[in-house]
Structures are given as C-alpha cells and as structure tokens.
Amino acid sequence: MANLETSLCGITLENPFHVASHNTIANLTPKEHASQLLRYVDKGAAVVSTAHTTITKKRPVDSKPRGRTLYAKSEPPFGKEGFFLICRSYDILNYLDETLELIHHLKKLIDVPIIGNIGGPGADVAGWAELGKIFEEAGVSLLELNVSCPVVDIPHGMETWTENLPKHAGVMIGQLPEMTNAVTRAVVDAVNIPVLVKMTPEVGYPMLLSVAQKIQEGGASGITAINAPISIAPPDIYNHGKPKFQAIEKYTFGGAYGPWDRFLTYKFITALAMNFTNLSISAVGGNVDPEHSVEFLMLGATTVQLSSAVLWRGPDIIKKNIQFLERLMDEQGYEDMDSLRGVALKNIVPLSEMDFGKAHAMIDSTRCTGCGTCTRILCRAMNLREDLAVNNEEKCTGCGFCAMFCTEEAITIVRD
C-alpha cells in the first residue's frame, strides 16, 4: 500500500488531508467546537485548524454569529456552482478567550498537530506578533496568518483605504505585498513554530507571485491557497431585484464558496509550486470530489484542506479522500507522496512552447443521438446528416468545443 505520509512546514503528517479553518455561524461553545474537530480526526484528518481568531479577548455582549447563505446553480449542463455567504466580520470571528479554551480542550482530545488561524489588528504588526506568541504558548504546532479574511466593509465610492486599515482588515492586507511582508516577518520573528500565510485570490495573476515573494522574504515556511473570492449574489429578477437571500431585505458583498472556486486554486498552487519550491503549499478551494484533491497534489500541493466538501457532505468525505488517494496511488504505481506530488508540473510549459499540432474531431456514431448540440456552437465544421453528427475535417481545427458540449460523450479530439 502506498505511503501517504507527508511533511507540512517540517511537521510530519500521516496523510495530506485536513479540514480548513471554519468560523461557525452556529453558537458553538469551545467544548462543542472541539468535539466537532474531533470528528474530523476520527475520519482521518491529519491536522486540525482553529477558527479565525482576533486578538480581542472577549466577545462583545451584543455580538452573535450571524449571516446568510445562498445556494447558486445553473441549468444543465452546468448544474451546481457554489454558494454565497454574507456576514459581519466581527460577528463570526472567534475571540481570543474562546479559541484558547478550544485549544485547551483539543489538547486533551486529539494527538494530531493543531494549526492556529489568526487575524491580527489591522496594520499593527506588533499586535500580530503578540497574537502569534499567545497561540504558540497555548500549544499549537503551526500558525496560519489569515491576511485574506474577512471581507471588509468598503464604503461606496473611491475612498483610499490603504493608508488607514481598519482593525479587521482581513482581505485588504493580503492585497498589499509590503504589508503582508511586514506582518509575516513580525510573527516569524516572534515565534519558534512554522508559519503559513493564507492568501487571497483577489490579488490575481501574476500579482500573486509578487505577494508570495514577500511572504517568502518574510520568513514563512508555507502558503495556504486560497481563501474565498469576493463577489455579490445575483438579484431576484422575478422580485424587482430584491435579494434572493431569505429573511433579509438588503444585501452586500461577501464570499463565494464551492466548486466554482477550484479554477482559482489550480492557478495559485501551480504558479506557487513552479516558482517557490522551498515553500509548503496547502491547497484549498472548490475541491468537492476526491479527484479534485489529487489534482491539487499533482499540481504541487503539499497538503489539501477540505472546506465546501465537508460542509456539503459531512466528515465522511475526509475518509473517502484518503481511500481514493490510496487506491489511485496503488493502481498508478506511486509509492509515496514525493513520487506523486507535482508530477503534472513537467507537462506545463510557456505558451510559446505549446505545440497544438493538427487535430480533428472524431465522432462515435454508435453513441451519437443526433441531438444537434455540436452544430449550434461557434464551430461550423459540424453538421447533421441522416440524424447523425458529421464533421467537415477541412474546416475542423480540433478546438474541442463540440466534444466539451456533447451530452453523449460521442466526440473525441485526435491528432491528424
């Protein structure tokens, strides 16, 4: 059987799977939260993460976790897409006393490493360092600096916010390379445990490489990629543009979660793995099937965090990921994680080196139903003849649009 053991920032793990840091909308006590994380470990999670925690000690009396979620989908063939979440950052953040009590319970319940997910006080790097030291003293094995959450309430207009960051700056910090570097360096210098930095997808490509460079220069041992992108939910077109969210009258920008985040994660982990070989990469975002997790690993991820998959399918998805990876590695001949990790990177080249060659679409007439879908796309090489698709190879360039949209999987693209 394949060996799934891996090393995250120098810490040995039994396997590469764990659950992402989640701030709960439910009113869980620290003891209840610890029991929930124990369920993840029982299903095979190799490490656990605390909720995103602020340096403020006690939760304000009037602060309760509140928010709204909205599921999003399209008509076939697209189907499920993801969901939106809007909430006030200071409501869903864990406060310091809560998380310290959570860590206290976890140390009694589990024997796997604990990642402390922290959010310092805006641009106050000394506050970030202090919070990191508190978590280290509490017994966490790694720190994850959350410079990518929460979504910050930006007023309408073009006010400059970079000069005066709010206390819960979140995603703002992660878009400022020098600020990210300062926060990272302050925490790294203050603690004796490895530090991960959780990046925001809002920086885009290739800007993400500039931010990652500053993270590396700050002394971090690894990067978590990615947090949720920011978006806004669509209006209800059948109700005068009102929110689709239930039980609210107005809405705002928030996070977009689920399968649609995956293409962003592919981009981040590939770019990071190709350019920062000394950093551990913990991948998260949109991986709702076990196949997605293996794709992340083949693109260079060190570990894979499960987020939406656990929310939708429960803790059993952790075990399913482990079993799927074991089976695939045995079937494909991978002995250990080092032989699997990053194996796809050798197949990725600059666009200038791409060889598209000559290709054309080939139709399996035994599968074709004559639905005509392939004749209604941009390509004009496909036609219907006697209720079956026929390809004009002189016009066909092998682009693959017809194969992509064929509902019967009757078309393949082959070299000339």
Residue 380, number of CB atoms within 10 A of its CB? 10
Determine the pLDDT at residue 87. 76
pLDDT of residue 157: 45
Domains assigned to the chain: 6-347 (3.20.20.70), 355-415 (3.30.70.20)
Rounded-to-integer distance, Cα 342 and Cα 133, Å? 33
In angstroms, rounded to a whole number, what is the distance separating the alpha carbons of residues 346 and 344? Answer: 6
CA-to-CA distance for 128 and 122, rounded, in angstroms?
A: 8
pTM: 0.92
Nearby residues of 120 by Cβ (< 8 Å), 6 or more positions away:
55, 127, 128, 129, 131, 145, 183, 187
pLDDT at 408: 94
Structure tokens at 7: 């090393």
pLDDT of res. 163: 52
In sequence order, what DSSP letters do the residues of 241-278 get, joined into one string? Answer: TEESSTT-S----EEEESGGGHHHHHHHHHHHHHH-TT
pLDDT per residue as tens, the chain (416 positions): 899 999 999 999 999 999 999 876 667 899 999 999 999 999 999 999 999 998 989 887 776 666 778 877 777 766 777 888 887 766 778 889 999 999 999 999 999 999 999 998 888 999 999 999 999 999 999 999 999 875 655 544 444 444 566 666 667 889 899 999 999 999 999 999 999 999 999 999 999 999 999 999 999 999 999 999 988 999 999 999 999 998 889 988 888 889 999 999 999 999 999 999 999 999 999 999 999 999 999 999 999 999 999 988 999 999 999 999 999 999 999 999 999 999 999 999 999 999 988 999 999 999 999 999 999 887 889 999 999 999 999 999 999 999 998 989 999 999 99
pLDDT score at 156:
47
